[in-house]
Structure 1
Amino acid sequence: MSTRLACVVFDADRPRFVADFWAELLGWAVTIDRSDEVDVAAPDPDGADLALTFLPAARAKQGKNRIHLDLASRSFDHQRVQVDRALALGARRIDIGQGAVPWVVLADPEGNEFCVLEPREEYVDTGAVAAIVVDTRDPVRLAEFWSAASGWPVAHGGERWAGLRSATGLGSWLEFVRTPEQKSGPNLLHLDLTSFDDHAAEVARLRAAGAVPSERDVRNPEQGLSLADPETNEFCVLRAAHDCSTV
């Protein structure tokens, strides 16, 4: 296979504004700044973090996003510092029914949920973003699809959640958490893949693995092809010339 995960894409009313929030919060930098796209990436060119891409789009948020970011912390003091920093930058605390949990649930300035986790051993070497979390009705099935799509092996699979991570053991996890809610409307966050070889062949391979046509175009057709995973989460297979990741 010749595709890999490239970036997490946010639909944004104000791409540069929300990109600045995430760059400041994560300690990353804006690497692309255009009217049609703003990218934020980790400063280490050899790092394994996925880039964040912010595209201008009319947003119609319906309930909780099905994809969100979990941020890592080194200690409980560091977690408090991260939360205070996020609030100072324009985040707000939100209640999505989480109850009494050790992590803190926040929303960025455009309402995208994210969590600041308590220190956990499995995230000590992930960098700023511990995990990209996807809500799903079938964690194992969706993890198997995204493992085939990205080349990341399934490191944990179970009825309630499943997780992938790069075979290098570096960078963020990609996690799938069981949730009873069905997808409703297009996602405001989605994942993009980059194809480095025969683009048409890779699209055919993904279709054979369970990808379906997307109901909406999430990118310019010249940049790649829009598809959806088996639970209709939109994604794009980018051509290599538009790789938005630092890895």
Structure 2
Amino acid sequence: MTPSQITLGAINLEARNPADLVAFWAQVTGAEPAAGGDSYYLPPNGPSGFGMFFQPESEPRAARQMAHWDLTVPWGSRAAEVERLISLGATHKWDVLEEVAHVRWTTLADPEGNLFCIAEHPPLDQQR
């Protein structure tokens, strides 16, 4: 069987205010957004980055978010990154720091309430 060539092209989000939400995520990722009518594209910031599309809501937001994304930062930098993102407008939801040996994460919400995690993986010799 040939290995898959599938990669993540972009995360697509509907937003109450796409311009404000793309501005938040542009600060998070360091990428420059591009407008196209009332929608916005945020390209990947580098070869291991991810793209994002923001478009106006087509109907009211669901009460429960069915999926979220996990963003990874280098070991030892999670707390500083979380503080940076909170200063940009993210909301702290909860931390999972001791429950799993191979990962620690903080769950945040962006300004429109979309959940995402900032995770760090300890080196193998520091896993319990």
Provide the residue aligned with 1:27 in structure 2: 4
Provide the residue aligned with 2:106 in structure 1: 225
Give 1:165 shift: 1.0
Query: SS in structure 1 opposite 2:96?
Result: coil
Q: Write the deviation string for residues 34-60 of structure 1: whole angstroms up to 9, x where unpaired.
A: xxxxxxxx5xxxxxx44xxxxxxxxxx
Structure-1 separation of matches of 2:86 and 2:48: 28
Structure-1 separation of matches of 2:77 and 2:64: 28
> Which of residues 77, 83, 86 is equivalent to 1:198?
77
Provide the residue aligned with 1:144 in structure 2: 23
Structure-1 separation of matches of 2:105 and 2:114: 16
Query: SS in structure 1 opposite 2:80?
Result: helix
Q: Write the deviation string for residues 214-241 of structure 1: whole angstroms up to 9, x where unpaired.
A: 3xx6xx7022001100000011111144
Correspondences of 1:12-51 after superposition (within 5 Å):
27=4, 42=6, 49-50=7-8
Provide the residue aligned with 2:63 in structure 1: 185
2:54 maps to 1:176: yes
Provide the residue aligned with 1:64 in structure 2: none
Structure-2 separation of matches of 1:191 and 1:152: 18
Identity %: 30
Q: Write the deviation string for residues 122-156 of structure 1: whole angstroms up to 9, x where unpaired.
A: xxxxxxx4x321111111111111122222321x1
- Structure 1 spans left out of the alignment, 5+ residues: 1-25, 29-41, 43-48, 51-128, 243-247
2:32 maps to 1:157: no
- Please give the TM-score of this superposition, normalised by the length of structure 2: 0.72
Structure showing greater Rg: 1
Give 1:171 shift: 7.0
- Please give the TM-score of this superposition, normalised by the length of structure 1: 0.40
> Which of residues 207, 212, 233 is equivalent to 2:86?
207
Contact 2:77–2:120 under 8 Å retained in 1: no
Structure-1 separation of matches of 2:68 and 2:79: 21
Matched residue type, 1:141: D
Structure-2 separation of matches of 1:172 and 1:149: 12
Query: SS in structure 2 opposite 1:189?
Result: coil
